[in-house]
Structure 1
Amino acid sequence: MIHRRTAVAVLVSPLLLTGCGGGAEATERRTPPTRPAPTATPAIQAEQASRGIPGLGPVMSAALPERCEQAVVVTGRGKDSPLCTVVLHQRTVPGWQSGPAWPGSNALRGWSAHHVLGDLRSPLGLYTLSDAGGLLPDPGSRLPYHRSGGFHSPGTGFEGEPLEGCFDYVIAIDYNREPGTSPLDWTRPLGPKRGGGVWLHVGHGGPTHGCVSVAKAHMRELLHTLDPHRHPVVVMGYADFLAA
């Protein structure tokens, strides 16, 4: 359903995270030096395919692009829950290797297969991850990193928690956006009513408007690890959806 060459979706919905905006303060965009893409023999690929990612059923497993070697799996506690677990999986010769499970938050009202702007649900599905950024200097991101004052996040969250710092680091989820641009880019190919600005970002201790958040240390680890040459994706939804 996703429209661009670098995005893959199974079931998608839009979310516009308030606080995401195109600030005009000093910006810089850095593209990491080119790295050679890893290769695998047909025998290795067959062996990898035989060992799937835990928690993903046949539908979501089949949706994984063949060249994908990194998958961030976001598993919600329930369809209407704002709580989730985030795990980075990486292909190895024996199969998918799972990293540690990190506690996270998603949208206040849970998940949606077809979101309309303002329903406070995160989009179900599988999406590519192509761009990063934040208020802070580049911590060593492998993804192209856009530093900008536009990542300032004032105000408070749904539980009264301060939002300051939650956009210190972000990774854009390629839902209703133009891959290869800053996360702050406002291009919405599916139209503004379908939302946008759906990110992985630093947690603030409460639910989000549609994004997925984890601790700052975990965001740094994702930025250090996700490699565009390994074609990373995020697979996100509540457990029963992912297991279908």
Structure 2
Amino acid sequence: MRLHRPYISAAAAVVVSSLGIAAYQHLPEKNPAPAPETAAVVQDAAPPASGQPADAPATPRTSAPPKPQYPELLPGLGPRTLSRIPADTRQVVLVRGAGKESAKSKVVFYERVDGGWRPGAVWDAHNGYKGWTDKHYAGDLHSPIGVFGLTDAGGLLADPGTKLTYHRSNGFSTDARGFLGESLAGSFDYVIAINYNRQPGTSPMNGAQPMGANRGGGIWIHVDHGGPTHACVSIAKAHMKQLLRVLDPADHPVVVMGDSASLAR
């Protein structure tokens, strides 16, 4: 007896073949590629820390904190005052008086950093007994308003570590008393000459007055004695030492001083 092979038409063969291809296409892959989202997580993850098992959860990397943003202009200063600050100045001692006739003020040290002005701490200070003036004269008991260089320092005590030229002398001692009867002893332990009517590059004790003796002189930043000054600016002894240590001639430091209303012009 002859066995007959079942007849499969060409059309049926095509159907069988198509079913086989479709079944093959739907088989799960042995090593599927990670989804794009998963790949991104793997790429951004840090390897396991030393001592951790290899299958420990990966620690995501964190970005660095943003840099602080400092103001581009010194706060509270108007266009006239700002125009007087030299373009190469990177250190400013800002002395802001409480009022035109007040002997009390605040001092802040600013440094130019990343295109802005980084402020330091706020220090209590005293200024002239009668406040501030746009045109200072000898004996008027006002502090001059303006922008002045800071190039020279000195005092009764040894140099605390300043980069400014420092002149130590016993001539800085005094036994006088202030307007409130307070002793001025120690007031000139440390001084920084304010370049008002003086010759920069010389000792604070140099008596040269280019604008004439009637315009006053010998105006310093010095140690506070607890009361108003004749025309100087005074801050605590510890703050004087800090200021002396940070001032750098390479940064062309200046003092900007006056009452708030005048500085805002």
Q: How does 1:1-244 map to 2 (within 5 A)?
A: 51-244=72-265
Number of the residue aligned with 1:5: none
Give 1:115's aligned amino acid.
H
Answer 1 or 2: higher relative contact order, Cα 8 Å, separation at least 6: 1
Bigger helix share: 2
Give 2:213's aligned amino acid.
P
Structure 1 residues without counterparts, runs of 5 or longer = 1-46
1:142 to partner: Cα distance:
1.0
**Rg larger for:** 2
**1: CA distance, partners of 2:247 / 2:109:** 9
1:116 to partner: Cα distance:
1.6
1:60 to partner: Cα distance:
1.1
1:84 to partner: Cα distance:
0.2
Give 1:68's aligned amino acid.
T
Structure 2 residues without counterparts, runs of 5 or longer = 1-68
1:205 to partner: Cα distance:
0.1
Deviations 1:157-201 (A, max 9, x none): 000111000000000000000000000000111111111000000
Deviations 1:35-69 (A, max 9, x none): xxxxxxxxxxxx99x71011111211122111000
Deviations 1:71-104 (A, max 9, x none): 0000000000000000000000140001111000
**2: CA distance, partners of 1:163 / 1:93:** 41
Aligned-residue identity in percent? 53
**1: CA distance, partners of 2:132 / 2:202:** 26
**2: CA distance, partners of 1:147 / 1:113:** 32
The count of aligned residue pairs is 197
Structure 1 segments, 4+ long, off by >2 Å, are: none
RMSD of equivalent CA atoms: 1.3
The secondary structure found in structure 1 opposite 2:151 is: strand
**1: CA distance, partners of 2:204 / 2:130:** 24
TM-score, with structure 2 as normaliser: 0.73
The secondary structure found in structure 2 opposite 1:88 is: strand
TM-score, with structure 1 as normaliser: 0.79
**2: CA distance, partners of 1:231 / 1:115:** 24
